[in-house]
Amino acid sequence: MHKTPLDATHRALGARMIPFAGWEMPVQYAGIVEEHRAVRTAAGLFDLSHMGELWVRGPGAASALDHALVTAPSRLKPGRAHYAMICAADGSVIDDLIVYRIADEEFLVVANASNREAVAAELGERLTGHAAALDDASLRTALVAIQGPRSRELLQAHCSVDLEPLKYYGILSAEVCKRPALVARTGYTGEDGFEIYLAWDDAERIWNHLLKEGSAAGLIPCGLGARDTLRLEAGMPLYGQELDRETTPFEAGLGRVVKLDKPNDFTGRSALERAATGAAKQLVGLRITGRGIARTGYPVYLPAAAEAVGRVTSGTSSPSLGHAIAMAYVPPEHAVEGTALEVGIRNDRAAAVVVPLPFYRRPS
């Protein structure tokens, strides 16, 4: 089991640690709801050092990634990023990724911890024949995220570069607490926020510094539990739940990510061209209006029908909305907003209605 560089720090903060994707990770400190609310109203600090950081460098890096991924990283300007996926030849999703262009010939591809090895192996293979090299820096790169409406002012106090001009999905080099870092305006919470990539051994200093100086403003450490409820409210997919090797980006409502207009061939292209014309299932948001909480794997029915038509991929009691929410796959004809459905919860059926995603949008 891997440990992040902040393992001892989490334990000293009283975190409950759980195994996650081969790592010992904090699931909660003060409690999921309190941490969730801190991110919605002030700021939260997350250790995401388990994520995979894969560097792709070389004169052919941009064109190699255009060939390897469903997006067109060659269209990114240095200092910009986009959400991407690496798909198999059958169009299913191997992983969802963030691709940052750091320089003309240098990209940082961030993969889920659970898929790091699969993505590294697949990318390595797809880079063959291109003038590009892969460097898996995951086990020497720490990642600390600060998320929430107060994150910019809290990070700015310790950052050598003005963060105001840094746009959503932008990235820049800076010193954070006098240590070199890459600061990206990205996140997985539905709030403004930053992800800070730094050297493994600098994580503890930066974490402790940010937390100590930010606590008066409401900054608290947050675990994977709050990360999950935050991303679910924001309608963001989690690999293994909404995305997997049985699902295409189009079914997940993420067809816009697939750049079928790019000129070159890429892995999965022909399958994805077919998938674009009609999906077998569609991801929907559900508001549970009946009693109970829909959870991963629970069956979804048409009202009073005996046979399930779909299944829940993620569900929780929404801390921001005060009622149960879920994401589920259903046939496209039952995916229309306002459709009445039922979720099987143990021996009962709870009424549900299809609602637009995201469930929560931050006040602008």
Partner 1 sequence: MSYPDELKYSNEHEWIRVEGKIGTVGITAFAAEQVGDIVFVELPSVGDTLTATQAFGVIESVKAVSELFAPVSGTVVEVNDILGDAPETIASEPYGDGWLVKVELSDPSEVDALMDSGAYEEMIDAA
Which residues contribute to the site for partner 1 (CB under 8 A)? 27-28, 31-34, 36, 225, 228-229, 292-293, 295, 316-317, 319, 324, 346
Distance CA 124, CA 341 (A): 44
In the complex, what is the shortest distance from the CB of residue 180 to partner 1, in angstroms, rounded to a whole number? Answer: 36
The total of other beta-carbon atoms located within 10 Å of residue 270's CB is 11
In the complex, what is the shortest distance from the CB of residue 292 to partner 1, in angstroms, rounded to a whole number? Answer: 7
Which residues have CB under 8 Å from 136's CB, separation 6+? Answer: 52, 53, 54, 55, 116, 120
Structure tokens at 258: 């697939």
Our CB check for partner 1 shows the closer of 112 and 316 to be: 316
In the complex, what is the shortest distance from the CB of residue 327 to partner 1, in angstroms, rounded to a whole number? Answer: 15
3-state secondary structure of 288: strand
Our CB check for partner 1 shows the closer of 178 and 291 to be: 291
Per DSSP, helices labelled H in 13-90 are 32-41, 61-68
Closest alpha carbon to 45 in 142, 146, 143:
146
Our CB check for partner 1 shows the closer of 166 and 328 to be: 328
Angle between helices 61-68 and 116-127 (to 10 degrees): 120
Our CB check for partner 1 shows the closer of 69 and 352 to be: 352
Which residues have CB under 8 Å from 173's CB, separation 6+? Answer: 161, 180, 181, 182, 183
In the complex, what is the shortest distance from the CB of residue 48 to partner 1, in angstroms, rounded to a whole number? Answer: 18
Our CB check for partner 1 shows the closer of 33 and 353 to be: 33
In the complex, what is the shortest distance from the CB of residue 225 to partner 1, in angstroms, rounded to a whole number? Answer: 5
Our CB check for partner 1 shows the closer of 46 and 266 to be: 46
Our CB check for partner 1 shows the closer of 34 and 106 to be: 34
Give the containing element (helix H, strand E) for 233. Answer: helix 224-233
The strand ranges marked E within the chain are 2-3, 16-20, 23-28, 43-47, 52-57, 80-87, 93-103, 106-111, 133-136, 141-147, 171-176, 179-184, 193-199, 219-222, 282-288, 299-301, 308-317, 324-330, 340-345, 348-355
In the complex, what is the shortest distance from the CB of residue 290 to partner 1, in angstroms, rounded to a whole number? Answer: 12
Distance CA 118, CA 100 (A): 19
Structure tokens at 55: 């560097």
Our CB check for partner 1 shows the closer of 5 and 221 to be: 221
In the complex, what is the shortest distance from the CB of residue 312 to partner 1, in angstroms, rounded to a whole number? Answer: 12
Are residues 185 and 194 in contact, defined by beta-carbon separation less than 8 angstroms?
yes
In the complex, what is the shortest distance from the CB of residue 314 to partner 1, in angstroms, rounded to a whole number? Answer: 11
Our CB check for partner 1 shows the closer of 16 and 362 to be: 16
In the complex, what is the shortest distance from the CB of residue 293 to partner 1, in angstroms, rounded to a whole number? Answer: 5
Q: How far apart are the first and last CA of the chain?
A: 41
